[in-house]
């Protein structure tokens, strides 16, 4: 990424231009569904108001070659994580309650035990669907090294913001078309605004699963969180399913499902009871073809064991799960780390005795590996750890984390933002972490995001003077879907779209819903 461009970004605007752009951006967002529900302890059953989602006023520069690299990698990642989810022995060893993370992490253990129960009861497993998002940062280590693409994480459950990110890209296209951005930068040209059709891609994946289920008048179940503010990101997918594919959606929380779900013991058909009078044919329940989880990725979604049992009941049906428990487990940070160990990637992508001709070349595996930072488990023995960096009885994985803490992030098996431990907070955290819980954490070298990039960040309530200029870091997410399983284990997959989230440079976390980031879009540059 060219330093000269970073030093000029965002371009200089007059006060009048800045206020005008902010007004146009916020009114466009409100007019086109780039919105959230306002903060409330309890969301009303029928919303009466919305606020625009946090947004960036300019698109953010991102190297064209790295953007295209991320798009190429998505096909390989789609296949990789589908195959991980189909490898019971591997997941039991890495994430299970006997050998793996599940024995020290209660949330992981609860999920694994339900999956184990399904297998013990010989419940037939249907196809599985993954709606994925692989997140990256541009890595600029300096010392003359070129900027490269490095993966932050791979998401296998509730991979959100596809719909709102598409609208954020449309917002920046609108600002360009309506104002030409006052011609303040020669980089702001139409060919540098990549198209974004993520909603159609996500709906396509769900529609493929629905079609494979084989009952046209069945419905897709969206499992959603209580008091969800990011409801419109989900609704746009629902509308696309109905308008383009003729598929209806049912939305329910885990709490509601505890009362409404039934699974026929003979046919394993999943049915959801709906309030009387809602269905035009007079029936009181609908058959479900696909269960799409926009909840279930955090322990707070399961306040009592009964909520885990509801998850088990859904999984025991013949409905296609998105994701299944095993695919959710495959997205654990421990799996991300173990995949970097020698020979593991070849197990899933390079072994022709297991996968026939559906394997990848050594060059493709090297390209995938090039997207990884250094990672290790805190419970593991690792080379090059300083023996004096901690107590003598500490394993070398912890000692190395102490020694390199200023350049590290520690990650647990959690999604949703706000769970990681960074840099100077690491030594004290390691002091407080019980020895038996180390296996649930990985250490990862921090990605060195390019310095000097700025933008105007706009959050609701600031008015036309609410655009705040800040030095920022932008995180690219690439979406994909994979439909897999069955007798042959084949994977049908596709790369389908992207998002860009931007945060202030001093913010470690990156979640938009958690309040750390704003929605942005890509401005392609040739670095």
Query: Which position has the token pair 């509308």?
Result: 239
Whole-angstrom distance, CA of residue 331 vs CA of residue 315: 17
Is 333 annotated as catalytic? yes
Residue 12 gets the label, from left (phi > 0), alpha (psi -120 to 50) or beta, of beta
Whole-angstrom distance, CA of residue 524 vs CA of residue 193: 7
Q: Which of 96, 130, 153, 477 is catalytic?
A: 153
* In contact, 60 and 472? CB cutoff 8 Å: yes
Whole-angstrom distance, CA of residue 82 vs CA of residue 483: 8
Is 153 annotated as catalytic? yes
Q: Which of 125, 251, 354, 416 is catalytic?
A: 416
Is 416 annotated as catalytic? yes
Is 229 annotated as catalytic? no
DSSP state of 248: -
Name the nearest CA neighbour of 68 among 509, 510, 376, 478: 478
Q: Which helix (H) or strand (E) holds 136?
A: strand 128-139
SS3 516: coil
Whole-angstrom distance, CA of residue 341 vs CA of residue 322: 28
* In contact, 268 and 318? CB cutoff 8 Å: yes
Q: Which of 83, 294, 501, 503 is catalytic?
A: 501
Whole-angstrom distance, CA of residue 64 vs CA of residue 281: 52
Q: Which of 114, 294, 333, 503 is catalytic?
A: 333
Instruction: Return the bridge partners of 165, or none.
Output: none
How many CA atoms lie less than 13 Å away from 247 in the CB half-sphere?
A: 29
Query: Which position has the token pair 């009466």?
Result: 48
Is 469 annotated as catalytic? no
Is 255 annotated as catalytic? no
Whole-angstrom distance, CA of residue 448 vs CA of residue 137: 8
Phi then psi dihedrals of residue 321, to 5 deg: -95, 140
Q: Which of 78, 155, 165, 455 is catalytic?
A: 155
Is 133 annotated as catalytic? yes
Is 306 annotated as catalytic? no
Helix and strand tally (H, E) in the chain? 17, 21
How many CA atoms lie less than 13 Å away from 194 in the CB half-sphere?
A: 26
Is 160 annotated as catalytic? yes
Q: Which of 60, 78, 134, 160 is catalytic?
A: 160
Q: Which of 411, 414, 438, 503 is catalytic?
A: 411
Query: How far is C-alpha 514 from the chain's CA centre?
Result: 13
- List, as one string, the DSSP characters of 440-477: G-EEEEPP-PPSS-EEEEE-TT-GGG-EEEEEEEEEEE
Q: Which of 394, 415, 475, 495 is catalytic?
A: 415
Q: Name the residues annotated as catalytic.
A: 133, 153, 155, 160, 333, 411, 415-416, 501
């Amino acid at each position: 990424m060219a330093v000269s461009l970073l030093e000029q970004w965002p371009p200089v605007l007059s006060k009048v231009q800045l206020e005008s752009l902010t007004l146009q951006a916020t009114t466009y967002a409100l007019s086109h569904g780039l919105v959230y529900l306002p903060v409330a302890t309890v969301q009303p059953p029928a919303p009466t108001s919305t606020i625009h989602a946090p947004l960036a006023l300019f698109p953010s520069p991102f190297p064209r070659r790295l953007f295209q690299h991320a798009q190429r990698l998505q096909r390989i990642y789609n296949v990789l994580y589908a195959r991980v989810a189909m490898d019971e022995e591997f997941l039991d060893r890495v994430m299970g309650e006997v050998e793996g993370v599940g024995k020290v992490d209660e949330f992981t253990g609860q999920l694994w035990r339900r999956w184990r129960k399904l297998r013990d009861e010989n419940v037939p497993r249907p196809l599985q669907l993954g709606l994925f998002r692989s997140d990256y940062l541009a890595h600029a280590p300096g010392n003359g090294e070129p900027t490269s693409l490095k993966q932050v994480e791979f998401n296998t459950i509730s991979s959100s913001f596809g719909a709102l990110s598409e609208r954020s890209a449309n917002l920046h296209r609108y600002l360009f078309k309506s104002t030409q951005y006052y011609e303040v930068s020669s980089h702001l040209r139409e060919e540098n605004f990549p198209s974004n059709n993520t909603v159609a891609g996500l709906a396509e994946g769900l529609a493929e699963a629905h079609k494979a289920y084989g009952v046209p008048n069945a419905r897709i179940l969206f499992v959603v969180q209580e008091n969800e503010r990011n409801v419109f990101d989900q609704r746009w997918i629902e509308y696309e399913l109905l308008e383009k594919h003729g598929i209806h959606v049912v939305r329910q929380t885990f709490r509601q499902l505890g009362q409404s779900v039934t699974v026929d013991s003979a046919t394993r058909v999943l049915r959801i009871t709906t309030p009387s009078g809602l269905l035009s044919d007079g029936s009181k329940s609908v058959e479900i073809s696909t269960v799409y989880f926009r909840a279930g990725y955090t322990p707070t979604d399961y306040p009592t064991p009964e909520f885990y049992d509801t998850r088990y009941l859904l999984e025991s049906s013949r409905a296609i799960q998105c994701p299944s428990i095993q695919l959710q487990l495959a997205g654990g940070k421990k799996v991300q780390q173990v995949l970097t160990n020698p020979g593991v990637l070849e197990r899933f992508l390079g072994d022709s005795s297991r996968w026939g001709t559906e394997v990848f070349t050594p060059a493709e595996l090297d390209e995938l590996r090039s997207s990884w930072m250094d990672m290790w488990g805190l419970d593991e023995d690792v080379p090059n750890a300083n023996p004096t960096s901690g107590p003598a009885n500490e394993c070398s994985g912890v000692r190395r984390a102490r020694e390199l803490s200023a350049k590290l992030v520690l990650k647990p098996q959690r999604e949703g933002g706000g769970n990681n431990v960074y840099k100077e907070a690491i030594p004290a955290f390691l002091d407080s972490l019980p020895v038996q819980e180390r296996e649930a954490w990985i250490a990862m070298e921090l990605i060195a995001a390019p310095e000097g990039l700025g933008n105007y960040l706009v959050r609701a309530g600031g008015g036309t003077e609410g655009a705040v200029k800040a030095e920022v870091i932008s995180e690219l997410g690439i979406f994909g879907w994979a439909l897999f399983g069955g007798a042959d284990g084949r994977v049908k997959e596709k790369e389908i779209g992207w998002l860009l989230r931007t945060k202030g440079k001093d913010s470690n976390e990156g979640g938009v819903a958690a309040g750390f980031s704003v929605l942005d879009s890509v401005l392609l540059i040739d670095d």
